Structure 1
């Protein structure tokens, strides 16, 4: 038992200090922001030719940190001096930019039109170029969609130089570099991976590729993770000449816009465009010391005195204030309270606050008829009186986290206020405020906490903003609270400093469109907007990583993990495989979660290779589901395939999704969630949620389909003794082309199901290899083995059969390349060298 405890402790420690997230990978290119000789260039294979005798492709992920800088993204020069050029041309029209892919003759090209409204900073795209020597053509794909194909005679060329950015710094005419970021560079030959640079700054050698150890030569690199460490000022917005006259600010998270009430006009700042505009009011707003809230559903702005007060309403469509505040609620100041709009009822709410030497704990809602705040009767309120706490959405619909703040048990200031480090949840579904028990309440120094906290559901952490007085000055920090451990860390750098003692107003907002946190701070008559890329990381985290790797502590930790694997072998190996599912070693068509067989199929569900749901227009709408609704949908779907019942009861659904909720709360949550999913499915024909025989089921009729249901059908046919033929095999392999079942999706209830399905699929495919018809068809054998390796990258039986088949058919070069890739995967997965050579392995 002690060994098990130690094992989990080491695993947890590793997870805590090694948060390897793909978002931190990549190199950012210096562009027009610096002088020519400070700009960034990247040369593959140390600026030496790469030999490619056959058809090949190069793909990479790209994002733009500034849309206005023209220049070559990539140049491919072959050994005859000809050059393919990929050029970014900013804003050829008012609404779009273009990427041009030109051939040496310049008489033919492929154009990729990038709409300005979709070309957001920090948004990643994938560009792939395929040089088909047999077909004498060049093919371009953008985000896995075919963009163009043009003739290109290149049969004789076999050596190629690949350059991103400036190619020749000695050439005064070669000076343009677009403002881009690059990662995940992949080169394949005959669909076999030959080079892969993910540009992971945490690797021992971030510039070495994962297959052949080929190096990148980079000039003036700027590692992308630095944007996750440093806040930067993106905009100053002047609002008033009076330093204490705080104008209200509200955020539209759907359209990534800030609204600032300037009394005579409304200031609108568009994060995507990076521009602000003015709307002159028809009627003057309250504007003095007012909070501002934006109702995204009704498109209304609400303005009310910071300490409470009567509410005024601004209708954006009519451009006028419909109610004007006539008086302040002087008898009940609530400074430092939180105000929010509950979308389920559209009401304004106010919680906590400070006034007349007391902190408060009551919850109010605003009555527009009586023009007054009415107290909400809570069934339970375990929160002590407090103000200047942080507040935001929790895991479940209708629930909000409340963290920290200051106050005391009575609320009376004369008894002294304390800083709090506790966590509560406000449940609007059952009108309760309940204290949650953190593993520990870690203390840190702060003067105020600010709204709005942000919950990362992937790693169960909340981010919140704090201000601290240090050495007679005030600074802001972003903090991360790990709900699993109670640990609090400062992420990003401390930013914004003043030594003036004055009221300070700030808010934290997450922009989904640009994948960054935006902090708005009001001081001395202006709002200052700062941004940091998501996820933010500690300033000290990266140097600590580098130091650990340089001193070889990584090897010590991996050795300890080796002992853990022996104890809990099946679970840990499975989790490791799951965690590495998007790393080097997976088949080409799953690197970017591509499902070539079913991509764009309308009215369909795809579970192999990840979760995808296509509507009646063949649009993948799975990303539009909230994390909780996605989990509920998948639970209903998988239980609908159950052989013995074909559904799930209300009680099972509630206990799985809301294990800690009361029966009444769970019933309410369940009803709301089912209705939302039904509404979501209205754009999909043939897929419905039904309740029959006390079971919730997802029904799929003949106008729709699901790859897992197809797989189960083929399993039944095969088990029933149907004769194996080429058509059946092709159908099976097409269904399974995506690879691992629900890759990248993990829930406590799901992991064992995924593991069982993946093992079952491998066994099912192996049974095909025993068929006499297949044994005489090398092409089908290799295809079956490749599909098996999609589900388990180190499945040695399938690999051995594949290598023997390739060798016997004279494709020894491809066989050895496949083996080298397997050896690299094996090393990465188990941190030990594979014990056999190529010859020893295929003869074993």
Structure 2
């Protein structure tokens, strides 16, 4: 997990709280271990970890490399330096490298011991007097111990041991939205503003975009992580690890003047090759002189669009397979004869049906090629039953034998999929990776797929990449950068005579979203979901009955669906099936119908557009008028321009809604409304139903339990700040606070202490200086014997109150807990 430091404002810095509820109690001492990495060694002041003992003593591992009175890092106890001090040179620290840290508290010897990267140091301290411990990495808001000073660091593999037994372990490889569970799922840690390093394996990062001219081609140097692009004018290079795009204009010669030319990087002799089979041309590039061996500048009609290419390092031969041109698909293997200087039709033992838009990749030994999928026909004729192929072949570059490994059965995909020009083979895991996209859509998305080498098995990985596909005027490719351990996706499409190139990367190996996202502990899930099913079912049943009443003076505003939907939906959750989900509390987050996080596909405009329609649809049966929507989103546009912007973005939003599932935008008499179907869950809709349910329909204790489940994640759309949203935020906040406070008055502070603390914490999400919540929190903590913790909360509240109102809080601590 990576921590945001001084490069961002204080509110956006990262915290990891291992003890959001009760502290750990260690009678025989404990040991805290973790892996630590610094992003940089300057401007690195902050708290690596703050340990609070007995809710009154702070023991800090503090980084302070640029303060002359302090060492680079050391232990501070109750704001005093100790003998445990380090210089970065002592542990041979380098930016970006992982180093092990061990902090041990021994009541037997009354010592604190720190071992950092093998260097051990000890400090005497009356550890035996310390009984309870809280742990905060980075920032924290725990009473008077709060801080926003965070060093630029990453941590992983956090382990707490009690007498050599693991008490809790957070690998930080998997996580939930704002929390992370230990390996036994018994302890939850809360996080704020995290950057999960593991997410780099499930999310594509848009790294670069640039424009090139006619006759484009791309190639990749995997050893050094360098992308090459060539066009009619010259060669572009971009190093993934550093630097901007470099362009070298051709001094002599040029690439083949056909739109179907292909570019290839040969690692063995560090050579760029550009070729076209139809014109019997192969050109080599001299990077020192910026010259091509091809001099022909005549334009040639393409005949081998999207053919595959592969190089045999053993004999220096270049091969090509497949392609499309002049209304026919190809299945000829071509080999370039370096002696004769021409392409020859290679005779093979075995054939592959004619196709193009397939993928190819060379095995580790370099003697075989995998050829996968594509689009074509058995006859090769475009007019006779063209189809997508989902089959895998090998081609032996030594004996030229073609062998079919497997094929998916007919009906494998509901739409015709085609693939990137290259695939990446992972022989260790017996699979390969390839980009896929629908052939018959212009505005579409590329998905990364993993296929098994030995059987027709596949799964979608990571999120998706936007792609405009216009057959011969678009292409995409996939490469492995061994230099940076990333997969590199390159897309290109033609715009106004030029090609727009986009480069995306993802950490290797890529993962599925469900490999990363944690689900809560399920020990008590069954009982909880019984309550949840009954509660929401009763709410919906009540609304339906009210609609059927004989004298409805006013029609119900809430758009609802039947109880059966909610029960089926919650059963799916209990069985941990992928569920389409829209979360608005604690931050905007959307999961599609397969459980993949697609939040990143929503631009700021789409996010606000979606929120506008959704919130109005839940609150008002009619939804929102198109006029009102345009006034909110495009107030500076004239009517025509605003309408065009609206239509374009509605179209984009509808495409994303298709990924979510059964949720559609209805247009009735210039009003837009979201119809949320049976398989889609929205937390705002659920909270709205709960808050507006009649108390006779649902027992109040169940209603509050349901409410807390969702609102404790945080306030409504906290990262979306816009005028129209204020009323929705204040309305839901007031209703949540009123409902929770009304119920809290009926509870017993001894029997219901945990529920009261949950209520207070939830209220603080919406009103950080709510005085009733302060009274609940401090009174309960005091009655539980946690006087110092109650006092800490009070001190923090008083500080916040003065910052906001510029005056002292009028009540004393004794007034609050009395």
When normalised by structure 2's length, the TM-score is 0.53
Give the secondary structure class of the aligned counterpart of 1:216: strand
1:513-528 to 2 correspondence within 5 Å? Answer: 513-523=483-493, 524=495, 525-528=499-502
Contact 1:360 1:411 in 2 (8 A): yes
Aligned twin of 1:312: 283
Equivalence for 1:236 = 209
1:345 alignment partner, SS class: coil
Match of 1:511 in 2: 481
> Which position in structure 2 is the counterpart of 1:376?
346
Match in the other structure for 1:445: 415
Q: What secondary structure, in the 3-state scheme, does the structure 2 residue paired with 1:400 have?
A: strand
Q: Deviations over 1:420-439 (max 9, x none)?
A: 11111112233211111347
C-alpha displacement of 1:294: 1.3
User: How far does residue 472 in structure 1 lie from its aligned partner after superposition?
Assistant: 5.2
Which of 194, 197, 221 in structure 2 is aligned with 1:252?
Answer: 221
Partner of residue 778, structure 1? none
Instruction: For residue 301 of structure 1, report the CA deviation from its aligned partner.
Output: 1.4
Structure 1 residue corresponding to 2:74, chosen from 74, 97, 102: 102
Alignment counterpart, residue 85 of structure 1, candidates 61, 66, 78: 61
Equivalent pair of 1:294/1:302 in contact (CA under 8 Å): yes
Query: Aligned pair in 2 of structure 1 residues 140, 156: CA closer, same or farther (>3 Å)?
Result: closer
User: 1:110 touches 1:140 (CA, 8 Å); kept in 2?
Assistant: no
Aligned pairs for 1:731-746 within 5 A: none
Size of the aligned set, in residue pairs, is 509
Asked if the contact 2:176–2:517 (Cα under 8 Å) also holds between the matched residues in 1, the reply is: no
Q: Residues of 1 paired with 2:329 and 2:352: CA distance?
A: 12
2:459 & 2:300 partners in 1: Cα distance? 39
Q: Does 1:432 align with 2:401?
A: yes
SS in 2 for 1:268: strand
CA RMSD of aligned residues (A): 4.6
Alignment check: 8 A CA contact 1:31 1:69 kept: no
Query: Given the superposition, is the C-alpha separation of residues 439 and 235 from structure 1 closer, same or farther in structure 2, using an over 3 Å criterion?
Result: closer
| 1:31–1:177 CA contact under 8 A, matched in 2 | yes
**Partner SS for 2:20:** helix
Instruction: For 1:67 and 1:376, locate their aligned partners in 2 and report how far apart those are by CA, in whole Å.
Output: 58
Distance 1:269 1:89 in 2: 35
Preserved CA contact (<8 Å) 2:205 2:504: yes
**Which of 400, 411, 414 in structure 1 is aligned with 2:380?**
411
Shift of 1:484: 5.3
SS at match of 2:242: coil
How far did residue 377 of structure 1 move? 3.0
Structure 1 segment 474-513 matched on structure 2, within 5 A: 474-483=444-453, 486-498=456-468, 503-513=473-483
Residue 182 (structure 2) aligns with: 209
Closer/same/farther in 2, CA of residues 298 and 395 from structure 1, 3 Å limit: closer
CA contact (8 A) 1:341 1:348 kept: yes
Partner of 1:612: none
Of 253, 264, 272, which residue of structure 2 is paired with 1:293? 264
How far residue 152 of structure 1 moved from its aligned partner, in angstroms, is: 3.8
Change (3 A) 1:127 1:275: farther
8 Å CA contact 2:358–2:372 kept in 1: the answer is yes
Change (3 A) 1:400 1:429: same
| Helix, strand or coil at the partner of 1:46 | coil
Partner of residue 46, structure 1: 20
Is 2:378 the partner of 1:392?
A: no
Matches within 5 A, 1:609-758: none
> What residue in structure 1 maps to residue 192 of structure 2?
219
1:273 is matched with which residue?
242
Report deviation, 1:151: 5.3
Q: Distance in 2 between matches of 1:38 and 1:464?
A: 36
Deviation for aligned residue 1:498: 3.7
Q: CA distance change for structure 1 residues 246 and 68 in 2, over 3 Å: closer, same or farther?
A: farther
Q: What's the offset of the Cα at 1:238?
A: 3.2
Would you say the 8 A contact 1:424–1:433 is kept in 2?
yes
- Alignment TM-score, normalising by the size of structure 1: 0.52
Query: Unpaired runs of 5+ in structure 1?
Result: 1-26, 93-98, 559-844
- Determine if the alignment matches structure 1 residue 261 to structure 2 residue 234: no
Task: Give the superposition deviation at 1:488.
Answer: 3.4
Matches for 1:549-588 after TM superposition, within 5 Å: none
User: How many Å apart are 1:199 and its aligned residue?
Assistant: 3.9
Cα deviation, residue 135, structure 1 = 11
Decide whether the 8 Å contact of 1:231 with 1:495 is kept in 2: yes
Classify 1:372/1:443 alpha carbon distance in 2 versus 1 (closer, same or farther; 3 Å). same
- Contact 1:47–1:161 (8 Å) recurs in 2: no
Distance 1:44 1:275 in 2: 41
The counterpart of 1:36, out of the listed 10, 16, 20, is: 10
Alignment-derived partner of residue 616 in structure 2: none
1:186 CA drift (Å): 1.2
1:365 aligns with 2:335: yes
Q: Deviation of residue 233 (structure 1)?
A: 1.4
* Residue 467 (1) aligns with residue 437 (2): yes
How far is 1:447 from its partner? 5.5
Q: 2:274 aligns with which of 295, 303, 314?
A: 303
Unaligned runs of 5+ in 2: 530-570, 577-818
Aligned equivalents of 2:177 and 2:299: distance in 1? 62
Q: Secondary structure at the match of 1:415?
A: coil
- What is the rounded CA distance, in whole Å, between the counterparts of 2:39 and 2:264 in structure 1? 30
Could you tell me which residue of structure 2 aligns to residue 333 of structure 1?
A: 303
Distance (whole Å) between structure 1 residues aligned to residue 155 and residue 27 of structure 2: 26
Residue in 2 that maps onto 1:345: 315
Is 2:167 the counterpart of 1:194?
A: yes
Offset at residue 337 of structure 1 (A): 0.8
Q: CA deviation at 1:526?
A: 3.1
- 2-structure distance, mates of 1:67, 1:468: 47
Secondary structure of the structure 1 residue equivalent to 2:19: helix
CA–CA distance in 1 between the matches of 2:186 and 2:18? 11
Aligned partners of 1:352 and 1:530: how far apart in 2? 27
Deviation at 1:527, TM superposition (A): 1.6
CA distance in 1, matches of 2:514, 2:120: 47
Conserved in 2, the CA contact under 8 Å of 1:103 and 1:109? Answer: no
Q: How far apart in 2 are the matches of 1:125 and 1:403?
A: 39
Pair 1:377–1:539, CA change in 2 (3 A): same
Larger radius of gyration: 2
Q: In structure 2, do the counterparts of structure 1 residues 544 and 483 end up closer, same or farther at CA, with 3 Å as the change threshold?
A: farther
Contact 1:110 1:150 in 2 (8 A): no
